[in-house]
Amino acid sequence: MSTSPTRGPAAAPALAEELRISIARLSRRLRRLKPAGPGAAEPLSLTQFAALAAIERHGSMTPRELADHEKVQPPSMTRVIAHLEAQGLVARSPHPTDGRQVTLAATEPGRTLLAEERRRKQAWLTQRLGELTPQEREILRRAAPILDKLSKS
């Protein structure tokens, strides 16, 4: 029994290539969304946004924990933290048990920025999904947990 070119293990490299390109384009498009309105802040870099989101999600982190979490070298994370701190998006405080360390926490402006960025990106994606057929939306609804599983492996 022969395997068709669109099914089976032989199709995995082609599917991997299609997914890589499509996911990269969608990610790039979402990253390019600009804040609306006059006086809107310049968007954070992907690394800065990811670091701020990680701090918010975990409540507080040491700079080393953040660097490890984001899989970047501590000197690189130091620059990211300095930028976030200069923008008033994160604040340092003494570590509760280790006087040699500090913890980082998202400030109210940092949490507000994250919420607004997420809202804008979700609104854009919701509008794009509305342009699809019901069948296409159902395919994506069923694929979402699979893509999440891939992202965690």
Alpha-carbon span 122 to 111, nearest angstrom:
16
- Going from N- to C-terminal start, the domains of the chain cover 42-152
Per residue in 42-67, is it b (16+ CB within 10 Å) or e — as a string?
ebbeeebbbbbbbbbeeebbebebbb
Which fold, 42-152? Answer: Arc Repressor Mutant, subunit A (1.10.10)
- For residue 144, give Cα distances in angstroms to 120, 135, 138, 140: 20, 14, 10, 6
CA distance from start to end of the chain? 32
Q: pLDDT tens for residues 59-118?
A: 889 999 999 999 999 999 999 999 999 999 999 998 888 888 899 999 999 999 999 989
What average pLDDT does the segment 16-35 reach? 85
Q: How confident is the model at residue 2 (pLDDT cuts 50, 70, 90)?
A: very low
30, amino acid identity: L
Closest CA to 87 of 120, 43, 57, 54: 43
Question: What's the pTM value of the predicted model, to 2 decimals?
Answer: 0.73
CB contact set of 88 (below 8 Å; sequence gap of 6+): 107, 109, 110
Query: Which residues, at least 6 apart from 40, have a Cβ–Cβ distance to it below 8 Å?
Result: 34
